[in-house]
């Protein structure tokens, strides 16, 4: 999986893909687009981030963990889109296939949450379970109910740690959205 460290390679790959369709994109514009894909304002900011990260000490003092991105196993793209895009309100960030009629690997996101959905058999096991800590769970719950998704009407449950809304996708993957009412 590529990270922001691969930004120049990503820009080059984008330019090559566009060139194969007779679209000429200057290298500097490709770099700017890649920076925006990582949520940064411009290439200078991304370049600085790459340089800072490379110059961080190799010892434990320089370790920085970024957001974990769960891989969720799916079997049917249309059903996955209906659930993740239509019901949960995610957007597609990017999609990848190794060729025509190959399994899909895609990233969807909403707010700060990113998920990778994969049709590849070895990427994940159906029936996974994840916890997503969030704020605004009451509004999110009302939004889900307003969509009238015919396969699920999740409840808002009070737990000892706060509020929880649990959804199960068409592939038996469980997502537990939680808001700790005591935090913040």
Question: Each residue of 160-170: pLDDT tens digit?
Answer: 989 999 999 99
Question: What are the two backbone dihedrals, phi and then psi, of residue 131, each rounded to the nearest 5 degrees?
Answer: -110, 130
> How many domains does one find in the chain?
2
Percent of the chain with pLDDT over 90: 57
Same domain for 87 and 160, yes or no, is yes
Same domain for 45 and 75, yes or no, is no
pLDDT, tens only, 94-152 = 999 999 999 999 999 999 999 999 999 989 998 999 999 999 999 999 999 999 999 99
Query: What confidence tier does 184 reach under pLDDT thresholds 50, 70, 90?
Result: very low
More confident residue, 22 or 3: 22
Vertex 173 angle, CA 171 and 176, to 5°: 150
pLDDT at residue number 47: 78
Asked whether residue 61 is assigned to any structural domain, the reply reads no
**What is the DSSP secondary structure assignment for residue 131, as one 8-state letter?**
E
Same domain for 28 and 75, yes or no, is no
């Amino acid at each position: 999986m590529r990270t922001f460290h691969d930004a120049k390679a990503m820009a080059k790959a984008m330019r090559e893909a566009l060139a194969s369709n007779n679209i000429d994109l200057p290298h500097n514009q490709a770099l700017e687009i890649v920076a925006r894909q990582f949520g940064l304002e411009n290439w200078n900011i991304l370049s600085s981030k790459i340089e800072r990260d490379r110059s961080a000490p190799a010892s434990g003092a320089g370790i920085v963990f970024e957001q974990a991105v769960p891989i969720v196993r799916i079997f049917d793209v249309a059903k996955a889109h209906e659930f993740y895009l239509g019901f949960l309100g995610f957007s597609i960030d990017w999609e990848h296939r190794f060729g025509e009629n190959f399994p899909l690997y895609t990233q969807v996101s909403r707010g700060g949450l990113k998920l990778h959905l994969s049709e590849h058999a070895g990427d994940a096991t159906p029936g996974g379970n994840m916890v997503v800590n969030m704020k605004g769970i009451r509004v999110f719950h009302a939004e889900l109910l307003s969509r009238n998704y015919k396969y699920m009407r999740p409840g808002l449950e009070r737990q000892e740690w706060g509020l929880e809304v649990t959804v199960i996708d068409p592939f038996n993957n469980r997502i537990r959205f939680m808001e700790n009412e005591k935090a913040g």
